[in-house]
Amino acid sequence: MTDALDTLRQEVRLWLEGNAPQDWRDHCTTEEAFVDLQRSWFATLAKGGYAVPHWPAGWPGGGRGLAEQKVIYEEFARADTPRLLLSFMSTYHAASTLFEWGSEAQRQYYIPRILDGEIWCQGFSEPNAGSDLASLKTRAERQGDVYIVNGQKLWSTMGQFADKCLLLVRTSSEGAKQAGLTYLLLDLKAKGVTVRPIHQIHGDEEFAEVFLDNVEIPVTDRLGKEGQGWAVAQSTLSSERGLTLLELSARMRGALWRIGDLIRANGRDNDSGILRDFGRLATKVDAACAVADQFLANRIAGEERVGDASIVKLSYSRTLRGFTSLGLRIGGMDTQYHDPITFGGGMETGNWMADFMNSYAWTIAGGSDEVQRNIIAERLLGMPREPKSWTLKEAVA
């Protein structure tokens, strides 16, 4: 830690003492309260210069290096501030894609609106095109100065609250599947757009599906050239790697006290088996933090390898499963009841049944555990690529 980073840490810590929301978990029991808190907290962070430290210099609060961003997000985790779930797609996916692929006119129009709190979602996945994104079928046909779009998108995080959507569509069926994709910016208030929240198993509605019926999108709202959408989408998907998982791992370590309290409250503090499992979990949580920390250090040093991010993702998702399942087991029958959830409360709220069910999302979101293992095996370990058309009978022969 350099003197400059130590000074920054003290500045952020002092600022949080005067500005971080207090007792916010107790109030986020309704969707309306969640949205109000998210908008208010983002505005406070923007005013304080901590909302978008990852943006380029020249934008308010931007121009921070990775080491500085790490300090800021570590302090957010330590102070247990609300995660910016509502504006996450806006400030990372949308902004980073606009900075890299947008025209000067597009950047000057959209970026200030994001800083003012405009909410974006992502329209990539479809009912039959999730892990195999290149198979998407939502169609866009150019007619003069507009594209006419028809189709359906699925798993659009926070889509029901969003104003705009990053939309990946098919404009050609010729050649490779990836070559026929185009990237558009969709106004969710446009005629022909229908957004429906998806009710999840633990009671939240974090995702939405988006239906597009002859929706007109101006050609001026295209990022990159027609047919270049796959390359633009890769920029979008790479925008969140690194710091997000470092912050989440730090938050999980900061929440270990919940299991400690649960052990005492249930009279299990003399149970050697429970204490052994708790000790193992604490070690795994520390290891997950160390893996995320090392990944970021390698990135700062320019030594990141293709596939390193998959190790971080896999480490976090497996540890989170262990964290929530231990809480559920120690809590006994009392944790089997379905308590009202804390909207936007993260993955370690102490509502153990909801936390446990929510933890499965991280084994799928951003690439399933199976996909991460394939990347690690093929890209890092140099193992042969997975056959595309194998059968179980052939595999065991």
List residues with catalytic annotation: 240
Break the chain down into helix, strand, coil percent, rounded to 5: 55, 15, 35
Distance CA 222, CA 103 (A): 10
3-state secondary structure of 205: coil
Contact 208, 86 (CB under 8 A): no
**What is the H or E stretch that residue 198 is in?**
strand 193-198
Angle made by CA atoms 172, 176, 178, in degrees to the nearest 5:
75
Within 10 angstroms of residue 240's Cβ, the number of other Cβ atoms is 18
- What token pair was written down for 294? 């090392």
Distance CA 218, CA 226 (A): 13
Distance CA 154, CA 126 (A): 5
Which distant-in-sequence residues (6+ apart) come within 8 Å of 115 by Cβ? 46, 51, 52, 59, 60
Contact 86, 119 (CB under 8 A): yes
Burial of 267 (0-12, 13-18, 19+ CB in 10 A): exposed
Q: What is the DSSP string of 217-231?
A: EEGGGEESSTT-HHH
- Tokens 């969709």 map to which residue? 186
94: closest CA among 117, 72, 119, 69? 119
In one-letter notation, the amino acid at residue 260 is G
DSSP letter at 126?
B
Within 10 angstroms of residue 340's Cβ, the number of other Cβ atoms is 10
Torsion of CA 237, 243, 244, 246, to 10 degrees: 140
- What token pair was written down for 61? 């609060």
Count how many Cα atoms sit within 13 Å of the Cα of residue 369 in the half-sphere of its side chain. 13
- Tokens 């009841």 map to which residue? 337
